[in-house]
Amino acid sequence: MPTDAPILVTGGAGFIGSNIADRLASEGHHVLIYDALTRPGVERNLSWLQQRHATKITPIQADVRNAADLTRAVNEAQAVFHMAAQVAVTTSMEDPRDDLEINILGTFNLLEALRQKPGTPVVFASTNKVYGDLADLDFARDGDTYVPVDDTVRAHGIGEDRPLDFHTPYGVSKGAADQYVLDYARSYGVPTAVLRMSCIYGQRQMGTEDQGWVAHFLIRALEGKPITLYGDGYQVRDILDVSNAVEAYLHAWQRIDQVKGRAFNLGGGPANAVSLRVLLAHIGDLIGREVDVSFSDWRAGDQRYFVADTRAAEAALGLSPKVAWRDGVAHLARWLATERGLNHPIGEWLTVPAE
């Protein structure tokens, strides 16, 4: 395949997919955006890409469950970033068949197309949910935050050697797809890599209560609406700015000969670990008032703590230092206020330069 052939991004109008597509097009690549355009807000991302890169973006409105359409797109591409997915745990609980068909069958369709096109690499977007609810780990409260009792987990986070333990239909479907992607490297020699993501946030994220919670919190706070926390709010996630995530995806592709057949945990790591309560306090500081919060029951499969051990990814992929979470959240708040036309007294943090 010639090196000027396009790069395929499934789910390319979504949050992370559109950021990957933007970086690729900015570097001179032609990008095929393969997206069913079913998630609210993604049309705006696609329009943004087309306006910025008119000659570099080719949209394909199609579903990954359609093997024929997907195979045609794969046959044009020199590489694939597989971001298309059903992305919400709650939605998977409501419609597990749809979740299965998109996440497992869609990934299988892609892998089968790649098997017939030897040498074409794919980098797959997996999730920390493949590790289950981590119920065997003990945690203590430290102020507004859960912390692991185990010293190694506290220092470094959850590593790739953690046993897989799929919970909820979403965890099962993404976990099965994750394992299919790795096995097609073993069984058929397809050059694949898997990134098991923690919570990614940043520009182009149209957050909802079910997915994209950092943006969702900011949107609700900026609009003066209450936020519901499921659980006690002490649960911890290592949040990662999308610019860092995009770099990891591109480096995985560029180093595919060295990392094929491997899975990496990708997140903010211990330095960017933050509880929901601490994040909401920071948002309150940004907007100049306390955020209105209520509480509800824990949701199925929710982890009280997940922080990725990112040492393997950093070593293998040669990653840049991560954006500090307070700076990244301020950047996202600025972008959301502008994007949504919100007239809000948001203070001096608005002067923080955008990425």
Instruction: Give residue-wise pLDDT tens across range 62-117.
Output: 999 999 999 999 999 999 999 999 998 889 999 999 999 999 999 999 999 999 99
How far apart are alpha carbons 199 and 245 in whole angstroms? 10
Q: Which helix (H) or strand (E) holds 55?
A: none
Q: How many domains does the chain have?
A: 1
Residue 60 is assigned to a structural domain of this protein: no
CATH number at residue 312: 3.40.50.720
With respect to residue 285, please indicate whether it lies within any of the assigned structural domains: yes
Predicted local distance difference test score (pLDDT) of residue 341: 81
* 45: in domain: no
Asked if residue 16 is part of any domain, the answer here is no
Q: What is the DSSP string of 165-218?
A: ---HHHHHHHHHHHHHHHHHHHHH---EEEEEE-EEE-TT----SSS-HHHHHH
pLDDT of 210 above 90: no
In a domain, 22, yes or no: no
| 170 in active site | yes
In a domain, 229, yes or no: yes
Supply 265's token pair.
């945990």
Start-to-end Cα distance in the chain: 33
Flag whether 63 is in a domain. no
Average pLDDT over residues 247-256: 98
State pTM to two decimals: 0.94
Domain hosting 187: range is: 85-351
Question: Residue 46: inside a domain, yes or no?
Answer: no
Residue 210: both structure tokens together: 């079910």
Among the options 34, 170, 249, 305, which is catalytic? 170
pLDDT of 1 reads: 47
126-174 confidence digits (pLDDT tens): 999 999 999 999 999 999 999 999 999 999 999 999 999 999 999 999 9
- How much is the mean pLDDT over the chain? 93
